[in-house]
Structure 1
Amino acid sequence: MENRHEIEVKAEEKEKFPFLHLSLLIITFFSTMLAGAIQEGINPIVQPHLIYKGLPFSLTLMLILGTHEIGHYLASKKNGVSATLPYFIPAPSLLGTFGAFIKMKSPIPHRKALLKIGVSGPIAGFIIALPATIIGLWLSEVREPSQMKGGISLGSSLLLSFLTKTILGVTDDSADILLHPVAFAGWIGLFVTALNLLPMGQLDGGHIVYSLFKGGHYYLSRIIFISLFPLGFFWEGWFFWVAAVFVFGLRHPQLIDETTPLDMGDKVLGIIALIIFIITFIPVPFKI
């Protein structure tokens, strides 16, 4: 009996090697590097030796997304919640990825744990995305609108407008900016942070609102959900986001312990996360 038990334990340990996670990480690294190279005007079929030029974009974006998910993972472990390592999602798109996620394998015990798990990812990702955006803007070029033909026009948040004015000395409407790949990756990181912090459903923002104002989650979640509909006429992606949230549910599942109070430090973290949402939210992210 003991020998069989030892064999079973060893088999379980062998199965725990994160082969799928590692494989997706490597594939997504190459898909984002390819996307970055294409953004630089490289034809990967004709110029495969120049694909490395996508590294600044790839490394920056992967670091932001990875830090976000590792933040969730470490907070989950610290609060006794079983969670998987991050799953990166490669994609043949402008960005080379659809992001990353972790899966919770056990219920979240109480509001303190929920809040810390909810804020950890966005704050960790923001800490990387902010300096990346600042450095990238320093490396970016200001161009006259007549020099910019085609391409995609990116929307701006309160934070991005402030950084653009401070670093480059221009407003969103006074000139066009040719973003450095690092700045573009930082822009994506800040945008993804805002998406995750939308205070509805089971998004990170939904977790935070449920922790801070349990009764208010029901109403705020529906207000935000309805508010995104008109924005969908300016950027169709909001319709997809609304549909995804609807499928996964606007209601927040109950916790094992709903009575454990938050201390002042928890509340400050939650408020910081909500402020990050306000300054990073972009109503119309893309204009083609």
Structure 2
Amino acid sequence: MPALFLGLYLSRVVPLPEDFVGMSLGEPLLFQWAAGLTWGAAPEGYTLNLHPVGLAAWLGLLLTALNLFPIGQLDGGHIAYAVLGRRSTAVSLGATVTVVALVFLSASWIIWAVLMIAMLVFLGPRHPRTPDEHVPLDTRRLLLAAVAAAIFVVCFTPAPFSPLDLVAQP
């Protein structure tokens, strides 16, 4: 969080050139809230020129969301297994199928689909069994799982990278 606010503070609001060709970064909720507190809404035709510290913080949000996906040995996989037990495998596969299906509604989901398929291939959908998996979680640990889910929601962005105009207009 400190890096996010510092990076946004060091960033500058600049006019967006009319002939700009490039990519824009998707904005997770946490980034939107922090940018709103730091800069307010950018005027029409302007954009935030993100300082490298801000870019590093944005990347940290992206990687946090990625790590909280409920797949195998990722933290999200550990949490899903702790809460759901062996049913977490179905959640891993279901989440992946859902994201792949969302690609057909919007191409912006392609990055997440590729990442999730790669994670399933390299990490596998199953979490290894644990010796105490039969012991139910107490309220405190269930609350921590809910906090982790909330962190995922505020760090996630459906389209991490969006092309603004990849085909130059004559």
CA displacement, residues 43-94 of structure 1 (integer Å, 9 cap, x when unaligned): xxxxxxxxxxxxxxxxxxxxxxxxxxxxxxxxxxxxxxxxxxxxxxxxxxxx
Higher normalized helix content (fraction of residues): 1
1:202 aligned residue:
73
Quick check: 2:100–2:109 contact (8 Å CA) kept in 1? no
CA distance in 1, matches of 2:23, 2:76: 28
1:166 aligned residue:
37
Tell me the number of residue pairs that the alignment of Structure 1 and Structure 2 aligns. Answer: 159
Secondary structure (helix, strand or coil) at the match of 1:273 reads helix
Secondary structure (helix, strand or coil) at the match of 1:160 reads helix
1:245 and 2:107 aligned? no
| TM-score, normalising length: structure 2 | 0.81
1:284 and 2:155 aligned? no
1:263 aligned residue:
138
Q: Tell me how far 1:257 sits from its aligned partner.
A: 2.3
Instruction: Name the CA shift for 1:268/1:218 in 2 (closer, same or farther; >3 Å).
Output: same
Asked which structure has the greater CA Rg, the reply is: 1
CA distance in 1, matches of 2:80, 2:142: 10
1:275 aligned residue:
150
Instruction: Name the CA shift for 1:246/1:215 in 2 (closer, same or farther; >3 Å).
Output: closer
1:223 and 2:94 aligned? yes
Quick check: 1:164–1:171 contact (8 Å CA) kept in 2? no
CA displacement, residues 194-250 of structure 1 (integer Å, 9 cap, x when unaligned): 000012333210110110222541332222111221455325433431222221211
Quick check: 2:71–2:120 contact (8 Å CA) kept in 1? no
Secondary structure (helix, strand or coil) at the match of 1:252 reads coil
Between the two structures, name the one with larger relative contact order (CA 8 Å, sep ≥ 6): 2
Quick check: 2:13–2:42 contact (8 Å CA) kept in 1? no
2:11 aligned residue:
140
- Cα-Cα RMSD: 2.4
Instruction: Name the CA shift for 1:172/1:131 in 2 (closer, same or farther; >3 Å).
Output: farther
CA distance in 2, matches of 1:190, 1:250: 23
CA distance in 1, matches of 2:146, 2:13: 35
Quick check: 1:231–1:238 contact (8 Å CA) kept in 2? no
CA displacement, residues 4-27 of structure 1 (integer Å, 9 cap, x when unaligned): xxxxxxxxxxxxxxxxxxxxxxxx
2:166 aligned residue:
none
Q: Tell me how far 1:164 sits from its aligned partner.
A: 1.6
Instruction: Name the CA shift for 1:172/1:192 in 2 (closer, same or farther; >3 Å).
Output: farther
CA distance in 2, matches of 1:276, 1:139: 25
CA displacement, residues 29-54 of structure 1 (integer Å, 9 cap, x when unaligned): xxxxxxxxxxxxxxxxxxxxxxxxxx
- Percent of residue pairs identical: 38
Secondary structure (helix, strand or coil) at the match of 1:146 reads coil
1:182 aligned residue:
53
Matched residue type, 1:264: T
Quick check: 1:197–1:277 contact (8 Å CA) kept in 2? yes
Quick check: 1:148–1:176 contact (8 Å CA) kept in 2? no
